[in-house]
C-alpha cells in the first residue's frame, strides 16, 4: 500500500512516521503478546497518521484511541491488532467490517485479506474513509452487506443486539468467524 509518497518516493515526515510505526508495533503490540505475523506486518505497513485529523497526526503512534469526526474515535492500535489476530486470517479472505470509522482497521485488513468491504453509518466518516479507501459504503451496518456475502470473517467493532448478530452470521461462510465487540458505556 503506497499511501505516502513524494516526488522522489521519500519524505522526512514519512520516514519519521515509519520509524515511529515500527517502534509502536514492537513495543505496544508484539511485546504485549500479539504473535500473528500477518497482523504485525500489516500494522507495520499502514500509515495510521493518514486516518487522523492533521492536528492529531503527531500522536498517531501513541497506543491510544484518538478523536476523529462525529464524536467517534480511531481505535487504539493494540486493540486493532488483538481484534484482527482473533479473526485468524491466513491471507486471501473476503472480510466485512461493520463500522468503518476512520478506515484504519479496514486498511490494515486490506493488507491481509483479498477483499475488504466496510460499512459506516455516519456520512461524514464514510466520506473521509472513502477518500483513502475503496469499498466504503455509507449505510446502516446492522444489515451487513448481503450482496457481498458469504464472507470468511466479519468484524463488528460496536457489536450489536442479538438479531443484528444473527443477520451477520447468515452472511458468513460455513466455518467463518464473527468478531463482535461489546460497546463501552
Does 75 participate in catalysis according to the annotation?
Answer: yes
pTM of the complete model? 0.87
pLDDT tens-digit series, residues 19-56:
999 999 999 999 999 999 999 999 999 999 999 999 99
Tell me the C-alpha distance between 145 and 142, whole Å.
Answer: 9
Q: Which of 6, 16, 19, 75 is catalytic?
A: 75
Residue 165: CB atoms within 10 A of its CB come to 16
Grid cell listed for 179 = 468478531
With left for phi above 0 and alpha for psi between -120 and 50, is residue 110 left, alpha or beta? alpha
Structural domains in the chain plus CATH codes: 12-180 (3.40.50.150)
Counting as low any pLDDT under 70, the low residues of the chain are 1-14, 134, 158-162, 182-185
Distances from the Cα of 47 to the Cα of 50, 89, 146, 171, 179, angstroms: 6, 21, 30, 30, 24
Residue 7: CB atoms within 10 A of its CB come to 6
Amino acid at each position: 500500500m503506497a499511501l505516502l509518497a513524494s516526488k522522489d518516493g521519500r519524505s522526512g515526515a514519512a520516514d519519521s512516521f515509519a520509524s515511529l510505526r515500527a517502534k509502536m508495533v514492537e513495543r505496544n503490540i508484539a511485546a504485549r503478546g500479539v504473535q500473528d505475523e500477518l497482523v504485525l506486518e500489516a500494522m507495520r505497513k499502514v500509515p495510521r497518521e493518514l486516518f487522523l485529523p492533521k492536528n492529531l497526526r503527531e500522536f498517531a503512534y501513541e497506543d491510544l484511541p484518538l478523536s476523529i469526526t462525529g464524536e467517534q474515535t480511531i481505535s487504539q492500535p493494540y486493540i486493532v491488532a488483538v481484534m484482527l489476530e482473533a479473526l485468524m486470517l491466513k491471507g486471501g479472505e473476503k472480510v466485512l467490517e461493520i463500522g468503518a470509522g476512520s478506515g484504519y482497521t479496514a486498511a490494515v485488513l486490506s493488507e491481509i485479506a483479498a477483499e475488504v468491504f466496510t460499512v459506516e453509518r455516519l456520512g461524514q466518516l464514510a466520506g473521509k474513509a472513502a477518500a483513502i479507501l475503496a469499498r466504503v459504503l455509507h449505510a446502516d451496518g446492522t444489515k451487513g452487506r448481503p450482496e457481498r456475502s458469504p464472507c470468511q470473517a466479519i468484524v463488528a467493532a460496536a457489536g450489536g443486539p442479538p438479531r443484528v448478530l444473527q443477520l451477520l452470521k447468515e452472511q458468513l461462510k460455513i466455518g467463518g468467524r464473527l468478531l463482535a465487540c461489546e460497546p463501552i458505556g
